[in-house]
Structures are given as C-alpha cells and as structure tokens.
Structure 1
Amino acid sequence: MPTASTRSTPKYKGGHPRTFTLPERREIKKIAKSKPAEHGLPFSTWRLVKLAAFLVAQGVVDDISHEGLRILLREEGVSFQRVKTWKSSNDHDYAPKKTRVEHLYAIADGEVVPEEGEPEVIVYMVEFGPLNLQPHLGRQWAEHGGKHKDPDREPRPRRRATYTRPHGVQHLFAAYDLGKDQLYGHIKKNENRSKFLEFCRYPRSLHPVGKHIAIVCDNYSPHLTRKRCRRVADWAEANNVEIAYNPTNFSWLNRIEAQFTALRYFALDGTDHAGHKEQGSMIRHYISWRNKHAAQDERLREVVNRANVA
C-alpha cells in the first residue's frame, strides 16, 4: 500500500462551470438581443461562435464556451428564433431611446438599483383599440359537425356575418405597472392628448407624490411634448414624472402588448357584444380578474409568455 509521501496528487478536471455575475449576464443578454450591425459588424444575425468571440473581445467576459453561452441565454429566456415580418426603426434618436427604455426595464426587473434621481416605479402606457362592435373569432366547446353527423344533433354555433352597427368605436387607455405586475385600464370615447393626460393622472395617483415614476409610451403624437403644445411636458415636470418614448416602429419593445394578447384571448375572442357598455364591462371584469390571478393562473402565464417570445 503506497504511503502518504508516495501517493500522487489527484488531477482534477472539469468541475462546475463558472458563474457569471448579474451585470455580466445582463450585458450578455443585451448584446445577444441586439443586431451585429449596431456594433459595426458585417453580419445580419449572431451565431454562438461570433457572439462568444465578440463578448470576449469587448471585455464583457474573460472567457465563455459556446455551450455555456447557449445555456446562459436559455436561462435568461433568450432563444434562437425565426424572424417574422417587422419594420426597422427610422427614428433619428433610435439608440438613446432604446437604451433608456431597456434601462428602465432593468430597474423594474430589479437587475439595476436606481441611482439618485432615477425613477423607482416604471409604468407602460398605451391605447388599445379601436374597440368596435363586431363578432370576434374564437373557440368554444360544441358537438362534432361534419358530413355524416347525426341529423338530431344541433348545428355548430355560428356568429353573425354582418359587421354594420351604428355605435362608433371606443378606446382602452391602459397602463401596466412592471414592478407590481398590475394592469389598469379606462375606456374613453375619444383618443387625444386630453384623454391621455387624464389617464396619466390615475397611475400617478397610486404612488406618493415624492416618488419619482417613469411612464414609457409609444412615439405617438398625443404623447409627444411638441413645442406648440407642452401640456404633456408641463404636467410631467409638475408631477415628478419622466416620459420615456419607444423608438418609432419598435412596438416589440412594448411589454404591455403581451397583456393585450391575453386580454383578447380571455375576454374578446368568440364574443359578439351588442353594445359598448356590455363590451366595456367584460374588459373591466377581466382586468380585475387578471390582477388577482396573474401569479397563480397557469394558462394566463402561458399565453403571456408565448406572446412575449413571438
């Protein structure tokens, strides 16, 4: 039996992969979701080899394997997906707007501690609609139909074919508190700057006056602080609010869209409301139900997650 002096020292191999810090993981995710052309590279998309090499070259990480990068991105909810049709942004302030919105999202997700003077509450606001009165396609339980069905069986339910109803349209002004995961909505007859500011007062009223909040919204004319109409800017300055804008044609950065997908799925698909009062009541009841069951309802989470990935 070999003595302690003659026993060879074990040579360890492998081991647990390196754990990256939260700032490193955040930066890796941010670069992976960007386009190589934004960094001056002549590629249309990232491959793992090029992405890993770029991360090392930029000093984001000292070293990372291709498989380790794949696992890290999967843990961060990022996957390699087929590109769908979209419009590229032609906004002259594309980079600073996108960077600011992503930074606000990081604050809401707890990935970044807000510095002094930065907003503590992040709210996304947008208009959903127009809400018109027409039959919406959907699904429901019904007996099997077909060529050889039982003649005594009731016919499959059908929706009316006409879309003409002289009731006009309405609009849903909605706000999504990213930190609390709460959805708010008010239905208005008109969609203009006055109604936008009227609704802005609601999420502002949910927090103390001294708390700085940020409202992220689309680059839409009623939201803008134009020189000829500074009503939005004046209200924001007087109420300790920052207005942050998405770049033009960049709605995929809008996190409230996934919540609207769930609203359509649960409250509007398969309906044919006779009036706006009935439709509005359905939407308000859904928002109340959603805020109570967002964390527990598995189907709701599945619909929202699928919409976020799409």
Structure 2
Amino acid sequence: GRVLADAGLSFQRTRTWKASPDPDYEAKAVRVLELRAAPPPDGGAVIAFDQMGPISLRPMAGAGWAPQKRPERQRATYNRRHGVRYVMGAYDVHDDRLRIRLRPRRRGSDNLAFLAQIRTAIPARRRIYWIQDNLSANWTPDIRTFAAANKIELVATPTYASYLNPVECHFFPIAEFVVNNADYVDWDAFAWALARHIKHRNGPHRAKRIRQLEARHQIAA
C-alpha cells in the first residue's frame, strides 16, 4: 500500500468520458460558469434545471445496516405495471435550494408547467436565468414564448456537457438515499420519501453524507 501511495496511485472506479462536439462550447461554458460563480448584477435568480430518470418501481439494490452475515434480500420482480416517473429538479444556485416535482413524462408541456411553478415561487421583479440542456422538450415554442414574456433568460449548456449543469450533482443523493436499497409499494410512497429527502436537504441540518455526495459530483470549474 505504501509503495502505491508513494507513487501517487489509489484504487479508483473507471469513469465515463465524452467530448462535446458543440461548436459554441466555449461561449456556452463560460456563460454557465459565470452565472454559477457569482449572482448576476441585476439581482436575478440563477436556476439550474434538469430531469432525472426514467425511474421505475422495482426492488433496488443498495447498502445498509443489517445483522452480520444476514444482508437484506432483494425480491425478484417479473411484472412492472406502475409505469415510470421523472424527477424534475430546479436548483437555485446562489440560495442553495432544490425544488423538485415527480412527473410521469418529460414532454414540453410538463417542462413548461414546472417552469411556470418556479416563476411563481420567485418574485416577478427578479429575472430568472434558467440553465438547461439541449433536450428538444426544453426548447419548445411555448417555453420560449413564456420565458420571453416572464423575464426568464434560457441559458443552454453545451451539447454532451451535463457536468456543467449545477443541478446534476444534486441528483446523486436522491439516487443514493431515495432510490437505492428500497422497494416502494406505489408512487405515493416514493413521492413521500422524495419529499422527506428534499425537506431535509434544504433544511439547516443537512446530513454530512448528502453534502459529501453533492461536493463529489460538482462540476469542474
């Protein structure tokens, strides 16, 4: 172990990597990083948006405390009749607040409804800088029209550069503490667990493990 440590080596998991083919990568990346680094001079809110999923109701493996040599068992599942859901997340970058909604689809109309909900939660006098990826359902004519009429600037991340979106790192704790090592009976039970997690995450006593997961997966500046 000491020989490896002296050589600067450690045991690590392999990570995926992809290069963005976006011809406007630099300009888009600089814009996102500027909005992340400091609040806009006009006092606007910087909101990072994305969807997590699809998620299905099925037994999920994980880790937890159990009697020695008696780990929890994961039941087999053959029929999945509950459909899927998406977790829509909107992260207020400078207020450090995460808002979520659970939806069965991520169509343009669903994204627009969520955008409208966030707009009502922030004083109308404040401009919103809405960071999102290039999914076509995020850029429908209705969304563009609503944004233009409601003091919302749509800010695109570069293609294949989700790591630049500040909301991404906040989906990892949801996967770890809500999705993994669980077997929900229905979507109401899942929604209840998700709401409890978000309430704790936004509260004054956020668990150290949540902070560590968020920090580990933050974007590279």
TM-score (norm 2): 0.87
Which amino acid counterpart does residue 233 of structure 1 have in structure 2?
R
Which has the higher Rg, Structure 1 or Structure 2?
1
Gaps of 5+ in 2: 1-11
Any idea what SS the aligned residue of 1:271 has? coil
How has the CA–CA distance of structure 1 residues 309 and 125 changed in structure 2, closer, same or farther, with 3 Å as cutoff? closer
Aligned to 1:88: 19
Give the aligned residue type for 1:136: M
Bigger proportion of residues as strand: 2
Q: Is the 8 A contact 1:262 1:304 kept in 2?
A: yes
Structure 2 CA distance for partners of 1:296 and 1:273, relative to 1, 3 Å: closer
Q: Do the aligned partners of residues 309 and 175 (structure 1) sit closer, same or farther apart at CA in structure 2, a change above 3 Å counting? A: closer
Q: 1:247 to 1:83 in 2, by over 3 A?
A: farther
1:297 corresponding residue in structure 2: 207
Measure the CA separation in 2 of the matches of 1:167 and 1:301.
32
Q: Which residue does 1:27 correspond to in 2?
A: none
In structure 2, how many angstroms separate the alpha carbons of the residues matched to 1:262 and 1:83? 20
102, 115, 120: which one aligns with 1:200: 115
Q: How far is 1:138 from its partner?
A: 1.1
Secondary structure at the counterpart of residue 122 of structure 1: strand
Match of 1:253 among 156, 161, 164: 164
Q: CA deviation at 1:93?
A: 2.1
Cα drift, residue 164 of structure 1: 2.6
1:91 CA drift (Å)? 1.4
Report the CA distance shift for 1:127/1:309 in structure 2 as closer, same or farther (over 3 A). closer
Amino acid at match of 1:291: N
In the TM superposition, what is the alpha-carbon distance from 1:203 to its structure 2 partner?
A: 1.7
- Structure 1 SS opposite 2:68: coil
Preserved contact between residue 107 and residue 120 of structure 1 (Cα < 8 Å): no
Moved over 3 A (4+): 81-84
Q: SS of the counterpart of 2:18?
A: coil
Query: How far, CA to CA, are the matches of 1:156 and 1:238 in structure 2?
Result: 55
Shift of 1:82: 9.9
Per-residue deviation at 1:179? 1.0
Measure how far apart 1:206 and its partner are: 1.8
Q: Do the aligned partners of 1:127 and 1:173 also contact (CA within 8 Å) in 2?
A: yes
Give the letter aligned to residue 175 of structure 1.
A
Q: In the alignment, which residue of structure 2 is the partner of 1:168?
A: 83
Q: Which amino acid letter does the alignment assign opposite residue 182 of structure 2?
A: T
DSSP 3-state at the match of 1:261: helix
Provide the secondary structure at the position in 2 that maps to 1:308.
coil
Paired residue for 2:5?
A: none
For the residues of structure 2 that align with 1:83 and 1:309, how far apart are their CA atoms?
A: 18
Shift of 1:252: 1.0
- TM-score normalised over the length of structure 1: 0.63
Mapping of residues 17-28 of structure 1, within 5 Å: none
Deviation of 1:83 (Å): 8.6
Equivalent residue number for residue 39 of structure 1: none
C-alpha distance 309-219 of structure 1, shift in aligned 2 (>3 A): closer
Corresponding residue pairs, total: 209
Which residue of the partner structure matches residue 287 of structure 1? Answer: 198
Partner of 1:125: 49
Structure 1, residues 189-237: CA drift from partner, whole Å, max 9, x if none?
Answer: 2210001000001221122212111010111111125xxxx21111011
- Identify which of 128, 131, 134 aligns with 1:219: 134
Stretch moving more, 213-222 or 81-90: 81-90
Contact 2:131 2:156 survives alignment (8 Å): yes
- Whether contact under 8 Å (1:216, 1:244) holds in the other structure is yes
**Deviation by residue 1:163-189 (Cα, 9 ceiling, x = unmatched):** 531111111111000111111111112
Quote the RMSD (CA, aligned, Å).
2.2
The residue correspondences of 1:5-20 to structure 2 (distance < 5 A) are: none
Q: Distance in 1 between matches of 2:203 and 2:78?
A: 34
Contact 1:119 1:213 in 2 (8 A): no
Matched AA of 2:30: T
8 Å Cα contact 1:89-1:247 kept in structure 2: yes
Deviation at 1:266, TM superposition (A): 1.7
Matched, 1:107 2:18: no
Alpha carbons 2:44, 2:126 under 8 Å: kept:
yes
